[in-house]
């Protein structure tokens, strides 16, 4: 086997390993259903999520990804998607609720505390999902800073996904 073949096999193994989804089926359905509740107000949006299991159950973070402008005078600008979310429909996805809170937190790390990086907002819902387990759901007002734009918008008005 040549070094190129070995490197190709290693890359294929890495990709297969990263694509494994360890979430139980009930949690996959829950995340998909909750993501459908996002209603972008002006443009289109692509929902993103993160799921982590710990001793208290599943922590699920949901958000609408950002859009990067490609070309023209705003080239490279990253826009957040304004959205609404029906909290009654979200509540109905739980068989029991133990907590329902909204947080608005100003960040001190950016100096002025202004702009999208200075103010974070999230809705936190804790409870049990029918046919599943305990979930701590966080609906984020903006995606985490480490998340890159999920969509690109060309100057001709066409959106395309980032891969």
DSSP 83-141: EEE-HHHHHTT-SEEEEEEEEEEE-STTSS--STTTEEEEEEEEEE-TTS-EEEEEEES
Domain count, the chain: 1
- Span 60-103, pLDDT tens digits: 999 988 878 888 888 887 878 889 999 999 999 999 999 999 99
Evaluate whether residue 3 is within a structural domain.
no
DSSP annotation of 77 reads -
Evaluate whether residue 146 is within a structural domain.
yes
The predicted model gives 47-65 an average pLDDT of: 93
Evaluate whether residue 127 is within a structural domain.
yes
Evaluate whether residue 16 is within a structural domain.
no
Q: Which domain holds residue 70?
A: 23-161
pTM of this prediction exceeds 0.85: no
């Amino acid at each position: 086997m040549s070094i190129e073949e070995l490197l190709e096999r290693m890359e294929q193994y890495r990709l297969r390993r990263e694509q494994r989804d360890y979430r139980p089926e009930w949690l996959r359905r829950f995340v998909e259903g909750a993501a459908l509740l996002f209603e972008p107000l002006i443009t289109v949006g692509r929902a993103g999520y993160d799921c982590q299991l710990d001793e208290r159950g599943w922590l699920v973070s949901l958000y609408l990804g950002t859009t990067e402008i490609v070309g023209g005078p705003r080239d490279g600008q990253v826009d957040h998607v304004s959205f609404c979310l029906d909290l009654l429909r979200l509540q109905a996805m739980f068989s029991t609720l133990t907590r329902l809170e909204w947080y608005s937190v100003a960040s001190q790390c950016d100096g002025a505390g202004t702009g999208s990086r200075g103010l974070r907002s999230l809705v936190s819902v804790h409870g049990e999902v029918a046919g599943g387990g305990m979930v701590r759901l966080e609906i984020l007002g903006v995606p985490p800073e480490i998340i890159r734009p999920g969509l690109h918008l060309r100057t001709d008005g066409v959106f395309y996904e980032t891969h």
